[in-house]
């Protein structure tokens, strides 16, 4: 899909204050570690993730999403009455129904004549939502729209820790499917897209593509619906196969994106990928034949924040001058299912309003 008239006008981002380091999680897992004689430092060493953040107990996703949406609207200095679509696109949501987007739409004061709904596609929700809004803008149906989401990792982290400590049958081999759950972090991000005719930032969204490889739909799944903030979900992940098949799917998707845009690899100034961990990043970029030094990351500080991982990393890169005017940027999304959604952008001057600290610089990091 080629977009001639779509601009990424502003980004709003919000992250929690409470930090759970990998060392802290291992201390919480002391009964398991002692029983299996696991070495301390294993979690950070295997993932490259030093810390992740969690929302306060009882937080519902719409709350931080409202904050991020307000940040994006303020950064764009746009009349909310011009916004014709609001998509809430994270895995986490307030309830099974109504759509979490309903409360966010109300609190942001958006007009009644507005598309309002939820989208969920594992770690691809926000980028999927961005493509949908871009299509509405390109068609002339709306002149502006917001995609926003919030991931809440506290219930999954705590549920996984409790389950592993309580299950005395767990072995070094059977603990592996739970490992990915311990890398998950919390965060919130909103992208505000507009038609070129009303854009001040002039960051052009050039194209979007999707590739499905759904024969591997069973490699990562939760055994419960994780909609409610009070639920304590568990998740099983075949991390090695998921990484291998996800990288293959993403590599094929990049070829599709390059073909759609006519760009070469050498023309790409900055890559922003879904944030999983050090090993995934190094092997993925090697398979795609893209250099590590052009890639932006946040996973050492935020962990894997699901659908907002890529959007938050773009926010950090833009806020801390890792992307400059004229840069060719590729947004390389890969999610369980397996699906890949990617976008290409030519950067202008998109403003970012967030509470991202300077330490989260979206810079480069060594491979793990």
What residues act catalytically? 97, 123
How many Å apart are CA 74 and CA 64, to the nearest integer? 15
**Residue 197 in contact with residue 7, Cβ under 8 Å?**
no
Mapping DSSP to helix (H, G, I), strand (E, B) and coil, where does residue 181 land?
Answer: helix
**Residue 313 in contact with residue 362, Cβ under 8 Å?**
yes
Output the CA torsion 20→151→109→119 (10° steps): 170
Q: Indicate the DSSP class of residue 99.
A: -
How many Å apart are CA 179 and CA 314, to the nearest integer? 26
How many Å apart are CA 301 and CA 282, to the nearest integer? 17
How many Å apart are CA 35 and CA 26, to the nearest integer? 13
**Residue 126 in contact with residue 307, Cβ under 8 Å?**
yes
Q: Determine how β-strand 6-14 pairs with β-strand 352-354.
A: parallel
């Amino acid at each position: 899909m080629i977009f001639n008239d779509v601009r990424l006008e502003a980004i709003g981002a919000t992250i929690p204050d409470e930090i759970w380091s990998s060392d802290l999680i291992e201390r919480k897992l002391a009964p398991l570690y002692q029983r299996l004689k696991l070495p301390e430092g294993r979690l950070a060493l295997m993932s490259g993730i030093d810390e992740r953040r969690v929302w306060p107990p009882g937080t519902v996703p719409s709350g931080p999403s409202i904050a991020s949406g307000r940040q994006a609207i303020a950064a764009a200095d746009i009349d909310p009455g011009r916004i014709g679509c609001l998509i809430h696109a994270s895995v986490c949501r307030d309830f099974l129904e109504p759509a979490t987007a309903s409360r966010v739409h109300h609190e942001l004061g958006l007009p009644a004549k507005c598309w309002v709904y939820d989208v969920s596609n594992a770690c691809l929700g926000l980028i999927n939502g961005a493509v949908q809004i871009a299509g509405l803008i390109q068609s002339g149906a709306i002149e502006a729209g917001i995609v926003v989401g919030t991931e809440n990792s506290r219930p999954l982290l705590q549920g996984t820790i409790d389950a592993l400590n309580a299950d005395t049958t767990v072995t070094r081999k059977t603990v592996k499917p739970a490992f990915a759950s311990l890398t998950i972090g919390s965060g919130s991000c909103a992208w505000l897209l507009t038609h070129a005719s009303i854009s001040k930032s002039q960051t052009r969204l050039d194209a979007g593509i999707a590739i499905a490889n759904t024969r591997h739909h069973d490699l990562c799944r939760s055994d419960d619906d994780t909609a409610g903030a009070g639920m304590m979900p568990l998740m099983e992940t075949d991390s090695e196969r998921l990484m291998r098949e996800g990288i293959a799917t993403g590599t094929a998707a990049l070829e599709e994106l390059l073909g759609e845009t006519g760009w070469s690899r050498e023309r790409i100034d900055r890559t922003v990928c879904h944030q999983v961990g050090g090993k995934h990043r190094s092997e993925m970029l090697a398979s795609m034949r893209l250099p590590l030094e052009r890639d932006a990351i946040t996973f050492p500080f935020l962990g894997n924040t699901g659908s907002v991982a890529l959007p938050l990393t773009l926010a950090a890169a833009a806020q801390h001058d890792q992307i400059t005017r004229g840069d060719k940027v590729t947004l390389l999304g890969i999610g369980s299912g397996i699906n890949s959604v990617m976008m290409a952008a030519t950067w202008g001057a998109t403003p970012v309003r967030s509470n991202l600290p300077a330490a989260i610089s979206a810079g480069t990091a060594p491979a793990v």
